[in-house]
Chains A and B, each alone.
Chain A
Amino acid sequence: MSTVSTSIAPAAAPARTSAPADNTSFSVDFSDIGRSFTAKPERGAARGSTVAPRPVLRDVSLTVQPGEVLAILGTSGCGKSTLLRIAGGLDEPSTGSIRIDGSPLNGIDARCAVGFQEPRLLPWRTIADNVALGLPRRIGRAEGKSRVAALLELVGLTSFADHRPRAVSGGMAQRASLARALARNPGVLLLDEPFGALDALTRLKMQDLLLDVHAAAPTTILLVTHDVDEALQLADRIILLGADDDADDMAGGRTGATIVQELVVPGGRPRDRGSAELAELRGRLLAGLGIDRHGQARGVAATHTIPHFPY
């Protein structure tokens, strides 16, 4: 059920998106990623007592195809942001390795752009200048300016271009942060709950916008979210992070979280938000997150193979 959206979209939305069509996208390859944090020993703890490192992630192996949209779901504190930070080179895995486009990731990579969970805008710069921070280094002044203007238009912040971050709302700041990540025109776009602070309506609009951008320039997107519907609406594939069944708490407090479910979302985008097929998947994901689904499954099988891109 692959659609032709990727081939027609550049013609349909060239004026709205600023990303050039020659955008390249890269594969992301996690192999056996594990990450544990060592907490600082508490004051008054016996000297010499070693604090065991607390595992947060373990055995995360996953290949994200070029141009694929992967949603990462999981309960709060299970390590979603940690995984994304590792992919962006902002954090290093304790074990395992990560490759982008086949080459091992070494520190911060110019091919990736990160939209952080918090907006993280520089308070002394205007919204436009903040977005300009995301521009690739080699880009010219005039081109950069028009790109920033186009991105601000895209996220609906044109009239706030000259405002300081503290003079705009939280949702606006988050949209500015998204625009900053898009300004990179990255091969891999890492988004950490990019729509978390938005109201329901703006959130739906921004989801569609992200799909437009992706259709015009199909970059690889890793999208962290806690919203099952958002994942179903946007992603080609969804992974659910959590503890294995034998561990006793959801966030994987003892052993660290790993991929407990992986499912391919059927159908091309944009998807019907109310379809029965998605409802079934939603139930399954919610169950995986530890939520009672309040009803019986209707038995729609989800494929576990990854269809070839473009879908």
Chain B
Amino acid sequence: MTQTQIPKPGTAAAVRPARRPIRLTSRRGFVIFGGALLPLAILLVWQLSITLGVVSVSQLPSPAMVFLAAIDLYERGQLTLYVAISTQRVLIGFAIGASLGVAAGALVGLSRGANVLLSPTLGAIRAVPSLAWVPLLLLWLGFGEQSKITLVAIGAFFPVYTTVSLALRHVDQHLVEAGRAFGLGGIRLFTAVQLPAVIPSVISGLRLALAQAWLFLVAAELLGASMGLGFLLSESGGNGRIDRIILAIVLLAVIGKITDAVVGIFEKWANKKWA
């Protein structure tokens, strides 16, 4: 009798933590399903509006036509090429812009002199719209990769620069003083106290920068390119291929979301580690 009773409390205790109700909105399956709900609904409305004849196919091609356009481009070898070249431009430009952004942000955030000297100029440059750079970069750097990568780098630079310089100015001065009191200074103080303190903001800056890099990429490719998703947009605009335009938009949305999700995972990990 007692033997049958003894395991009971044990199992109950072992089961209880697992049984603790997880909120529905934080269950993984629900999150994925919930996130996919709206795109599926849009797809459905899109298809319905065509089958019911609300819009004409010449105005809005059906999902199947867009899919066929993708297959067609893929068979010509253009789809993979365009996606690859666009992604490559974004990644290289992002890497360059983000590194410069961290460096400039650190300089302006840590040194009052650099702040006085640099921040008005950088603030003014930031105010220039992305498209304004395109003609200038094309004339200076030509039609090749450099002009696009430079524009993407400009786009990635500013979110990182802004978040890093602001975050460094708001590092808890008590902690900085404690670091100094224990003999840290200069680069050692930076790596031991200031950098770890701003890492969460650096990463959210990187995330913003990546999104902005895609925006600037399309600007660069729209106006002067022979490959890439932006070029696909401008070319299809010229010859009226609405199916390809929609395809390009969908691809930009999907790839942008994927790269953002990768940084998001990194952000979660880093926040756990540093915050």
Q: B-contacting residues of A (Cβ < 8 Å)?
A: 88, 90, 108, 110, 113-114, 116, 118, 120, 122-124, 133-134, 136-137, 180, 184
The answer to whether B174 touches A133 (Cβ under 8 A) is no
The answer to whether A124 touches B181 (Cβ under 8 A) is no
Asked if B57 CB lies within 8 Å of chain A CBs, one says: no
The answer to whether A124 touches B274 (Cβ under 8 A) is yes
The answer to whether B182 touches A180 (Cβ under 8 A) is yes
Asked if B273 CB lies within 8 Å of chain A CBs, one says: yes
Q: How far is the CB of B14 from chain A (nearest CB, A)?
A: 24
Q: How far is the CA of A92 from the CA of B183 in the complex (A)?
A: 17
For A90, the chain B residues whose CB sits under 8 A away are: 177, 180-181
Q: How far is the CA of A282 from the CA of B133 in the complex (A)?
A: 76
Contacts A122-B179, A124-B196 given; 7 further ones with Cβ under 8 A?
A90-B181, A108-B181, A114-B181, A120-B175, A124-B199, A133-B179, A133-B192
The answer to whether B274 touches A110 (Cβ under 8 A) is no
Q: In the complex, which residues 186-219 of chain B have their Cβ closer than 8 Å to any Cβ of chain A?
A: 192-193, 196-197, 199
Number of A-B contacts (CB under 8 A): 42
Asked if B117 CB lies within 8 Å of chain A CBs, one says: no
Q: How far is the CA of A75 from the CA of B183 in the complex (A)?
A: 31
The answer to whether B178 touches A116 (Cβ under 8 A) is yes
Q: How far is the CB of A220 from chain B (nearest CB, A)?
A: 17
Q: In the complex, which residues 238-275 of chain B have their Cβ closer than 8 Å to any Cβ of chain A?
A: 273-275
The answer to whether B175 touches A122 (Cβ under 8 A) is yes
For B174, the chain A residues whose CB sits under 8 A away are: 116, 118, 120
Q: In the complex, which residues 75-116 of chain B have their Cβ closer than 8 Å to any Cβ of chain A?
A: none
The answer to whether A108 touches B183 (Cβ under 8 A) is yes
- Report the nearest B residue to A116, measured CB to CB: B178
11 pairs from A and B in contact (CB 8 Å cutoff): A110-B183, A114-B178, A118-B174, A122-B178, A122-B179, A122-B193, A124-B274, A133-B179, A133-B182, A137-B183, A180-B182
| Overall SS of chain A's interface | loop
Q: How far is the CB of A233 from chain B (nearest CB, A)?
A: 27
> Of A108, A116, A122, which one neighbours B196 at CB under 8 angstroms?
A122
For A134, the chain B residues whose CB sits under 8 A away are: 182
The answer to whether B175 touches A88 (Cβ under 8 A) is no
Q: How far is the CB of A111 from chain B (nearest CB, A)?
A: 11
Q: A-contacting residues of B (Cβ < 8 Å)?
A: 174-175, 177-184, 192-193, 196-197, 199, 273-275
| Overall SS of chain B's interface | helix
Q: How far is the CB of A30 from chain B (nearest CB, A)?
A: 19
Q: How far is the CB of A14 from chain B (nearest CB, A)?
A: 26
- The 8 lowest CB-CB distance pairs between A and B, nearest first, are A120-B178, A124-B274, A114-B181, A124-B196, A120-B174, A133-B182, A134-B182, A110-B183
For A114, the chain B residues whose CB sits under 8 A away are: 178, 181
Q: How far is the CA of A180 from the CA of B178 in the complex (A)?
A: 11
Q: How far is the CA of A108 from the CA of B178 in the complex (A)?
A: 11
For B197, the chain A residues whose CB sits under 8 A away are: 124
Q: How far is the CA of A124 from the CA of B197 in the complex (A)?
A: 8
The answer to whether A123 touches B275 (Cβ under 8 A) is yes
The answer to whether A108 touches B192 (Cβ under 8 A) is no
- Report the nearest B residue to A112, measured CB to CB: B181
For B179, the chain A residues whose CB sits under 8 A away are: 122, 133
- Report the nearest B residue to A114, measured CB to CB: B181
The answer to whether B273 touches A124 (Cβ under 8 A) is yes
- Report the nearest A residue to B184, measured CB to CB: A133
For A137, the chain B residues whose CB sits under 8 A away are: 183
> Of A88, A118, A124, A184, which one neighbours B275 at CB under 8 angstroms?
A124
Q: How far is the CA of A113 from the CA of B182 in the complex (A)?
A: 7
- Of A113, A114, A120, the most chain B CB neighbours within 10 A belong to A120
Q: How far is the CA of A250 from the CA of B258 in the complex (A)?
A: 65
Q: How far is the CB of A132 from chain B (nearest CB, A)?
A: 10
For B192, the chain A residues whose CB sits under 8 A away are: 122, 133
For A180, the chain B residues whose CB sits under 8 A away are: 182
For B182, the chain A residues whose CB sits under 8 A away are: 113, 133-134, 180, 184
Q: How far is the CA of A143 from the CA of B183 in the complex (A)?
A: 19
For B178, the chain A residues whose CB sits under 8 A away are: 114, 116, 120, 122
Q: How far is the CB of A56 from chain B (nearest CB, A)?
A: 18
Q: How far is the CA of A90 from the CA of B193 in the complex (A)?
A: 17
For B184, the chain A residues whose CB sits under 8 A away are: 133
